[in-house]
Amino acid sequence: MAFGHNAMIITRTPLRISLGGGGTDLRSYYEKRGGFFISAAINYSIYIAVHETFEDGFIVKYSKMEKVQRVSEIQNDIIRETLKLHGITGHVEINSIANLPSGTGLGSSGTFGVGLLKAVYALKREHISPYQLAEEATKIQVDILKRPVGKQDQYIAAFGGVTCFDIDKKGNVTATPLRVDKRALHMLEDNLLLFFTGYSRSADSILKEQHDRSKSSDAQMLGNLDFMKKLGLESKDALESGDLARFGELMNTHWEHKKERSGSMSNPLIDKWYAKARKAGAIGGKLIGAGGGGFLMFYAKDSAKLRRAMAAEGLEEVRFTFDFEGSKTVVNE
């Protein structure tokens, strides 16, 4: 497919933190029970630049660089399958830049997929709604690439904001903004702290274990995820009523139960940091994402004290604000 107008498209798509109900967005669970989760987009993004070139073939730059003639030769599977699906046969350069590392639990592969699709639609001069964007990005990862991932990352990347998502047993998703007042939202932003553990990892192995056990109706796994969904709904009530201390307590309960899902969810060092944070005034916290590394997030009564305690452990804080725009095209020339 050639475009003939030497287009340059840049999209910006937010990363996310999960605020409740994580894990219930996997098909192996929601087809049995229906899912619910709360997610928040943050002001760290993945930028995708797609540029029409005069050369045959493809130039693709992410953490690696590829220069190939045919779409089937592209090693990055999300890029390859997205371009294949849209019949793009060459004359394209794709660059990806993220302002936080991938594999850190902030939904980067889902964000990447959504941002790339948004750019491809802009290149084709076609409109796509946030809902269609999230569904198509999920289809590529789950149905085509057979990754054991859910819908959370794609949906929050497409919609942005602090949003509640209900999934019925057929996989239909309803997105509703969290009804939280401005004061509570600012308090949440001020007292939710993110610290980088220094570990990056692929979520796939942890998620595959969860997916396989849910699919085979493992009673322990389904019971754990039922409880996670209940905690997610309770977190929604706590946030919407402005009871942020209660939200922090629910986060702590969530983490204790999340660790039961897989032996590789935590490790002695993460457990040590978590205990230290609790001593320093964190009401609750958890590892963001599937587990095993990435970012520790805490809700703190005394954020200054917690910052000092984590700095003493050598953990770097990443300060953030919420992003209410979702995936958007920032350059279209």
Q: Which amino acid is residue 212, in one-letter code?
A: D
**155 and 190: one domain?**
no
**98 and 119: one domain?**
yes
Q: Which amino acid is residue 184, in one-letter code?
A: A
**129 and 34: one domain?**
yes
Helix (H), strand (E), coil (C) string for 3-36: CCCCCEEEEEEEEEEEEECCCCCCHHHHHHHCEE
**Quick one: pLDDT at residue 175?**
98
Give me the CATH number covering residue 96. 3.30.230.10
Say if 3 falls within a structural domain. Answer: no
- Give the predicted TM-score (pTM) of the model: 0.92
Residue ranges making up the domain that contains 22: 8-179+323-332
Q: Tokens representing 86?
A: 């849209």
**Quick one: pLDDT at residue 104?**
77
**Quick one: pLDDT at residue 2?**
46
Q: Please enumerate in sequence order all residues whose Cβ is within 8 A of that of 304, keeping only pairs 6 or more positions apart, or say none.
A: none
**163 and 50: one domain?**
yes
**152 and 12: one domain?**
yes
**Quick one: pLDDT at residue 9?**
97
Q: Which residues of the chain have pLDDT under 50?
A: 1-3, 203, 206-207
Give me the CATH number covering residue 224. 3.30.70.890
Q: Tokens representing 332?
A: 């279209």
**67 and 161: one domain?**
yes
- CA dist., res. 47 & res. 32, Å (int): 36
- In sequence order, the β-bridge partners of residue 96 are 48
Q: Which amino acid is residue 263, in one-letter code?
A: G
**173 and 187: one domain?**
no
**Quick one: pLDDT at residue 268?**
87
Closest CA to 128 of 147, 148, 154: 154
Domains of the chain: total: 2
Residues 117, 141: contact at Cβ < 8 Å? no
Residues 314, 281: contact at Cβ < 8 Å? no
**Quick one: pLDDT at residue 201?**
52
**171 and 279: one domain?**
no
**Quick one: pLDDT at residue 227?**
94
**143 and 233: one domain?**
no
Burial 136-169 (b: 16+ CB within 10 A, else e): bbbebbbeeeebbbbbbbbbbbbbbbbbbbbbee
Say if 102 falls within a structural domain. Answer: yes
| pLDDT tens by residue, 215-274 | 666 788 889 899 999 999 999 999 999 999 999 999 999 998 877 766 767 788 889 999
Q: Write phi, then psi, for 78 (nearest 5 degrees).
A: -70, -45
Placement of tokens 């054991």 in the chain: 148
**Quick one: pLDDT at residue 217?**
63
**167 and 35: one domain?**
yes
**162 and 258: one domain?**
no
Q: Which amino acid is residue 109, in one-letter code?
A: S
**65 and 170: one domain?**
yes
